[in-house]
Amino acid sequence: MSASSDHQDSVFSHVVQAPEDPILGVTVAYNKDPNPIKLNLGVGAYRTEEGKPLVLNVVRQAEQMLVNDQSQVKEYLPIIGLSDFNKSSAKLIFGADSNAIQENRVTTVQCLSGTGSLRVGAEFLARHYHEHTIYIPQPTWGNHPKIFNLAGLSVKPYRYYNPQTRGLDFQGLLEDLGAAPSGAIVLLHACAHNPTGVDPTLDQWEQIRQLMRSKGLLPFFDSAYQGFASGSLDADAQSVRMFVADGGECLAAQSYAKNMGLYGERVGALSIVCKTADVASRVESQLKMVIRPMYSNPPIHGASLVAVILKDRDLYNEWTVELKAMADRIISMRKQLFDALQAKGMAYKLLFILVIHCTPGDWSHIIKQIGMFTFTGLNTEQVAFMTREYHIYMTSDGRISMAGLNSRKVPHLADAIHAAVTSIA
């Protein structure tokens, strides 16, 4: 090869540098910061009170059981994944006594965590559903619009969060879904809405269900936090079960990243509830057609762990205890941050500098919101200030992961919020 050919332009010279992912990029910046007081409240991954990643005891036990089981092999799974995993996942989200399961109206396929489950569902809908518009809450997880757009669906927002009350814009939600065309797909967060932590009440869920069924809107649930929000697996699945109980059709994407701590194992499931068993069988055949050219079949290890835990009564019971402990620690962090801000006399300044028209002295949205994240209301400039001056990392919309906070860091975070809202309007 000549010297001149070594210096020829690459055929990829036109490729521009892509921006960092707005969520995962937070951790990239955090890792580059040498300051010892730095705090990462960006990515949604649980940390212990000591700030360390957690592998659940039940997961370690299940892994040991698999290691000791000489019948375990590393053969390819079927296209739709591990059968025991799929059956157990459907029972977990719909309930073991679900009529839809008993009548074989549910098809469940193992996917690559929640993201993969959403993408497979979106690809299926783009090919086989007559309406190609999906309505997503405003705001929502940053990956949602990308997933649905790339699958060929048209994405439209519906009102969800009211920044004035830091609660649900229920009237706006009903108006927007009421104006949606018949048959449109609607993305619903099953619990612990990301990024706001604001969920409808059960009464509000029932009104949403009635409206959607009356208009023939198709529910697509994203269930990333079952059991991780309230500490109860059943309570966190009530919204989904409400829609399944009426006999209508829906989709549900599940992830075991948060509630089993299997982040890197990429374990998830997509379930589609159909009107009849025959329809469910045909839907499953087409889901195989989506999956085969995408990734052929899913990985075996993580799904095997989940199946072992969900099928073994003792492990399952221990899991529920560990799960509640994680949820309770997050709830405790909310209370501690709220108390710290109250103790600093911050509430009045926060509410009015941030132009929030609530009762002076009220910073209670921190403890009213649920799940991994708190939507603080901090603006982009205030977030940048906290990163620059206090080495606290979060997404630019002011979302913080309560799971990344611990008691030692609460005063530091409270100081940073105080400084940010008093320095920058």
Which of these is catalytic: 141, 199, 319, 409?
A: 141
Q: Is 258 a catalytic residue?
A: yes
Q: How far apart are CA 130 and CA 127, in angstroms?
A: 9
Count of C-beta atoms within a 10 Å radius of residue 70: 6
Query: Hey, what amino acid is at 86?
Result: N
Distance CA(38)–CA(353), nearest Å, equals 26
363 is catalytic: no
Which is the catalytic residue, given 176, 199, 236, 258? 258
Catalytic residue among 169, 176, 222, 236: 222
Q: Is the peptide bond before 195 cis (omega within 30 degrees of 0)?
A: yes
CB atoms within 10 A of CB 91: 16
Helices (H) and strands (E) in the chain, counts: 17, 13
Neighbours of 3 (CB within 10 A): 6
Amino acid 208 reads I
d(CA 198, CA 396) in angstroms, rounded, equals 19
Q: Is 222 a catalytic residue?
A: yes
The residue count for the chain: 425
CA–CA separation, 417 vs 324, rounded Å?
Answer: 29
> Active-site residue numbers?
141, 222, 258
